[in-house]
Amino acid sequence: MSEYAEVHSVNDAERELAALVPLAAGGDRSALQRIMEIVHPMVLRYARARISGGRHPTPEDVAQEICLAVTTSVANYVDRGRPFMAFVYGIASNKVADAHRSLSRDLSNPTDEVPDYIRDGDTPEDYALVSDGSNRVHALLDSLSDKAREIVTLRVFVGLSAEETARIVGSTPGAVRVAQHRALAALRKKLNEQEHQA
């Protein structure tokens, strides 16, 4: 999909959400269901970008909590000139922070079920490398300020344009691009430092 088509489809989603939110706040269940159909894929991408897989709560669990919180609070939404998704990502940010606190307290790594077979190439070493890589990415992201981390997550992992990200974080597209550039440069520098220490 071209960047124009992505921006166009996101703008269409924003317009649709703007029409649906008052209906859902008034008790229209089909409007609320449609809101969730639009919101869920975006918050799932956001949660996957911010939370490592393989531990509880999973990104899918957190996305479900975000959607539940949006569902229960849509009646309290007040339009302050920012898109509804800014409200949603505010909730998402809080739920991800809650999940990080929960993960830091829970040092266990439970498994729901033991697989019946072993897939070729999925050795413990492979799992450790993937897990280590994922943990390194999350540690690098956590080294950024909250706003810079949010911008990088929305731009790089969720795939929003600078204009969309600016509307969500309450900034300008130019400031978002500058913040993203600085954040990525800081991440590159930190990564280079880590590689030289190894």
Q: DSSP string covering the chain, please?
A: --HHHHHHHHHHHHHHHHHHHHHHHTT-HHHHHHHHHHHHHHHHHHHHHHS-TTSSS-HHHHHHHHHHHHHHHGGG----SS-HHHHHHHHHHHHHHHHHHHHHH------S---SS--TT--HHHHHHHHHHHHHHHHHHHTS-HHHHHHHIIIIIS---HHHHHHHHTS-HHHHHHHHHHHHHHHHHHHHHHHHH-
The per-residue pLDDT for 60 is 92
Residues 6+ apart with CB under 8 A from 190: 140, 143
Omega before residue 57 within 30° of 0, cis:
yes
- pLDDT per residue, tens digit, the chain (198 aa), is 444 444 446 678 889 999 999 999 999 999 999 999 999 999 999 998 888 766 678 889 999 999 999 999 998 888 888 889 989 999 998 898 888 787 666 555 555 555 555 555 555 554 444 445 556 777 788 888 889 988 998 888 888 889 888 888 889 999 999 999 999 999 899 888 888 886
The model carries a pTM of 0.67
Assess contact for 58 and 109: CB atoms under 8 A: no
Percentage with pLDDT > 70 across the chain: 76
Place of tokens 């990564």: 191
Assess contact for 56 and 30: CB atoms under 8 A: no
The per-residue pLDDT for 111 is 54
First to last CA, the chain: 40
